[in-house]
Chain A
Amino acid sequence: MSRVNTVLGPIPTEELGLVAVHEHIGYGMPGSELDTKWWRSPEQRYEETVPKLRAFHEHAEAYGGGTFVDVTGICNGRDVDYYRSLSAKTGVHIVACTGFVGGDTALPHFAAADVDYLTRQFVHEITVGIGGTGALAGVIKVGVSRGGRMTELDKRIYRAAARASLATGVPILTHLAIDAENAVAIFREEGLPLHRVLFGHVDDGVNAEKTRDVWIAEQGGRIGFDTFGYETELPDPPFWARPRRERLEHFLRFIGDGRITQVLASADANCSPLGWPGVKGHTVNYIFDDLLPDLRGAGLSEAAIRTVFVENPADFLTIQK
């Protein structure tokens, strides 16, 4: 039986449709909830979020439905009850994660925990539920802290994620793919096949040059071009923005080398950011409004588009037990 955990319960892989594999309903650094400058009323949150998800749902109809993978880590404002209401009212499948965006987003209780405790936290959220919501996590988030190198805490989280992935069959997504040698070494030591790991953000403006995307793919890892839309052409681009054409060419070059079955793509947008200004106008629907037209314009076939947005994520997200 093929299944994927969504916030409303497991669904068959066949229902996923088009998948936006690295997104956020709303992201904030831990502690940002204390700063009222970012607060919005619940009315405003729904108002900012629901139309984006409805548009996503409508666009995805051509692919048999749409799935939004929220990779907001445990301490970053992840709000599963809210996601459940959004999913139920819009029809978009929402997959929530366990894990942490990086060691620097793990609060003291977790920062002090050993690999075994972190593993149990992740396995619990995948098999028993997240908090009191009853919803099961469908992916495990890990990442590299600010500073460019994996910290000791980052490594503990990667190792726990690998063990939880092996125990549950749920895959791992990474925030950043820099310092990949250390990550790959941990996954190998734990015996996790690298096709269960999506190495994300190989395409952002800060890290693309430093990321050994080809090497990771050669090791068997999946590659995430998942910051599409964070462009230097924007009126107020974030520091990780990159020229639109440069990112697109990077992607086309990569799949042109016969690696299309290893790539996934997403926009890493916030429907309604929790602890930062966000980037005005950038939404998950960049995929439909800009990226798919760009890919078609570059000559990609509909079959190739289905490979990247439907088949690869289905293969990746399906619980492998």
Chain B
Amino acid sequence: MSVKSNSVYTVLGPVSAAELGVVAVHEALLSVVPGAQYAFDVTLDRAAIFEALAARLREFRASGGGTVVDRTGLFHGRDVRLYQALARATGVHIVASTGQGPEAMLGGYFLTPQTNPPTPWPAEKFAELFAAEVTEGMVVPRVERLGPAGLVATAATRSGMTATDESLLRGAARAALATGVPVSHLFGADAVRELEIALDERLPADRVVIGGLDRTDAVAAGAPLEIARGGAYVALDHIGSTDEAYLTGAERVALVLELVRAGFGDRVLLSSSATGVAKGHDGNDVAFGHVLTRFVPQLRDAGLSEADVQRIVVDNPRELLSISVPVQASAPVSVD
């Protein structure tokens, strides 16, 4: 059992869930491949990064957007101080994430620690690491904690979940259960099985969003409907980019309508996996407002009602991000 509070953790602290507006729920602000910050050919000019991100956020706001969720986790370029300045400057709410994954994106501290033998981290240690980022603040490495994480983001390896991927997901689920934030899991090879792992930790299904469900392999496996049936949120999160591994725009429209007609309009989330600024990789140069300005009109043309549009771009992410307080446990401590 859990009860929903009416607040969401943004980088500037808790805000009323009613204030979020339209939410881009699966995006990246500054996305840095771990290690690229030390590369001889990568430049991190904070002023230039701020300018580029602020322009994208203002464009998003101008197109009707209210909140951007950075679901890159704690080790892929997250810069809380910068995000706080961006939120203040642009008026867009920014929800940042803790969590990490898949295994290949982790630092050696978690995989080959200085113990004999070098046993990878178990779920419980990941749970503590992630939960503290919600209750005590997100880490600015070796300097300070700053602002609460609003969700736990994990991902599994595309070729199949590794043992450490599973520890990450279980740890994320435990952290979510303890703190009330949701888990956003980008599935690896088997979305349904991976959701079961999160649920095995007794996390209610409506506290989980499974990402990557507009991949052709997910659709072929019937995963979007099955995930929705299981009660979790279904994220179609590559809207606006062309990639052979994903559905076409028209196929996505059809999938949204199929989900809504099957009664799962309250489980659908739409996003672009846009990268505001990418370092060490090509990124995904799509506007944060793409869903709103380009995709939603296609949904309307295909017959989706205004109420369903509103539910998908406003209500569903608001419900997902609203802090869920376990009935037996005490309320999480908020950090401003």
The chain A residues found within 8 Å of chain B, CB to CB, are 28-36, 39, 74-75, 104-111, 120-121, 124-125, 128, 131, 145-146, 206, 238-240, 274-276
Contacts and interface: CB of A to CB of B under 8 A. Distances in A.
B46 interface: no
Contacts of A125: 40
B75 interface: yes
Contact of B112 (A104, A109, A239, A274): A104
Interface stretch (B29-37, B63-71, B179-187): B29-37
Contact of B38 (A34, A36, A74): A74
A62 to B, nearest CB: 35
Contacts of B116: 206, 239-240
Nearest to B116: A239
Identify the interface centre among B106, B115, B129, B142: most chain A CB within 10 Å of its CB: B142
B6 to A, nearest CB: 30
Contacts of A104: 108, 111-112
Given A33-B141, A206-B116, A107 B111 contact: no
Nearest to B280: A109
Interface string B26-55: 000000011110111100000000000000
Contact of B118 (A33, A75, A146): A146
Nearest to B121: A31
18 contacts: A30-B107, A30-B108, A31-B75, A31-B109, A33-B142, A34-B74, A34-B107, A75-B35, A75-B38, A104-B108, A108-B105, A109-B33, A109-B38, A110-B35, A110-B39, A145-B112, A240-B116, A275-B109
Interface string B64-88: 0000000000110000000000000
Nearest to A112: B33
A294 B71 CA distance: 56
B263 interface: no
Contacts of B104: 108, 111
A307 B13 CA distance: 61
Contact of B34 (A32, A108, A120): A108
Q: Is the interface of B mostly helix, strand, loop or mixed?
A: loop
A31 B73 CA distance: 13
Interface bin, chain B: 20 to 34
B35 A28 contact: no
A128 B41 CA distance: 12
Nearest to A31: B107
B264 interface: no
Contacts of A274: 142
B108 A29 contact: yes
Identify the interface centre among A28, A108, A128: most chain B CB within 10 Å of its CB: A108
A124 B43 CA distance: 14
B141 to A, nearest CB: 4
Top 9 nearest A-B pairs by Cβ distance?
A31-B107, A107-B35, A109-B35, A31-B109, A30-B107, A33-B141, A29-B109, A124-B40, A239-B116
B114 interface: yes
B35 to A, nearest CB: 3
A125 B38 CA distance: 10
A120 B115 CA distance: 33
B145 interface: yes
Nearest to B39: A109
Given A30-B109, A34-B141, A120 B129 contact: no
B132 interface: yes
Interface in B93-119: 104-116, 118
B109 A109 contact: no
A30 B108 CA distance: 5
B142 A39 contact: yes
A121 B109 contact: no
B126 to A, nearest CB: 11
Contact of B145 (A31, A36, A145): A36
Given A33-B142, A75-B107, A206-B116, A128 B40 contact: yes
A35 B35 contact: no
B87 to A, nearest CB: 22
B139 interface: yes
A33 B141 CA distance: 5
Contacts of A128: 40
Interface string B125-149: 0000100100000010110010000
Given A29-B114, A31-B108, A275-B114, 14 more contacts: A29-B107, A29-B109, A30-B34, A32-B109, A74-B35, A75-B107, A104-B112, A107-B34, A108-B104, A125-B40, A131-B38, A239-B115, A275-B109, A276-B114
